[in-house]
């Protein structure tokens, strides 16, 4: 049975989700998912050739109608805002689509919570848990015995070694690498191509090889309308 899907977001991560769904349908030679459209507060007509079917605040109503939703709003460096936006929408777990590209390897004893998105050519190792609405973009490696916290975003080509814990809504940027037995706090950013060799606190940005603390992340108090 075809699953009817609505993407919450725009042409960035939302466009990646749409492209992944199109490829899933192509590979399986059938409509595994049907993209009904996008929920977006700033585009009135179409995103990636799909209609905008409503504002983000209507997500709960779509869920009540039986549609699956993918929460694809992941502004890098604004982890606490990401969580605030999601909580505001009140989407039940059973309405969150868990989407995995067929070319991704997922260990049989790995755990993927509702809303997880795993793009093409990724590796998710044994005994690893991806919490709610984690996004793992193309060509990422996540080792064994890891915990990736809710709403984290792993950009393309990033490598997370083994025995690693990452807190809520942290961002691992393009081609960054995390060495084993490291803990990353909530709302952190590990910069592109950085090599993290030690644990971090919360709301910290690390960059460089080896990565060093660059600055604290001070989250602006956006209103939902501003963002």
Residues that constitute the known binding site:
77, 153
Q: CB 189: neighbour CB atoms within 10 A? A: 26
Name the binding residues for substrate.
77
Q: What is the 3-state secondary structure (H, E, C) of 17-45?
A: HHHHHHHHHHHHCCCCEEEEEEECCCCCC
Of 55, 62, 129, nearest to 91 by C-alpha is: 62
Name the binding residues for acetyl-CoA.
153
Cβ-proximal residues to 213 (8 Å cutoff; 6+ apart), any chain: 200, 204, 205, 206
Quote the Cα angle for 78-135-75, to 5°: 20
């Amino acid at each position: 049975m075809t699953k009817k899907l609505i993407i919450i977001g725009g042409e960035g991560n939302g466009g990646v989700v749409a492209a992944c769904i199109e490829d899933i349908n192509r590979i399986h030679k059938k409509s595994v998912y049907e993209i009904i459209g996008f929920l977006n507060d700033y585009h009135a007509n179409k995103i990636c050739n799909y209609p905008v079917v409503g504002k983000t605040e209507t997500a709960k109503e779509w869920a009540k109608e039986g549609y699956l939703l993918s929460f694809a709003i992941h502004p890098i460096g604004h982890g606490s805002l990401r969580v605030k936006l999601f909580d505001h929408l009140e989407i039940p777990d059973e309405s969150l689509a868990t989407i995995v590209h067929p070319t991704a390897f997922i260990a049989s004893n790995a755990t993927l919570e509702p809303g997880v998105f795993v793009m093409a050519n990724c590796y998710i190792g044994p005994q690893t848990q991806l919490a709610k609405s984690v996004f793992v973009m193309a060509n990422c490696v996540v080792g064994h015995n890891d915990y990736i916290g809710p709403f984290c975003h792993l950009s393309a080509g990033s490598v997370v070694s083994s025995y690693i814990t990452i807190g809520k809504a942290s961002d691992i940027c393009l081609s960054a690498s995390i060495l084993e037995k490291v803990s990353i706090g909530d709302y952190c950013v590990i910069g592109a191509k950085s090599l993290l060799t030690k644990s971090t606190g919360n709301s910290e940005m690390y960059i460089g090889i080896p990565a060093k603390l660059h600055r604290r992340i001070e989250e602006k108090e956006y209103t939902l309308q501003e963002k």
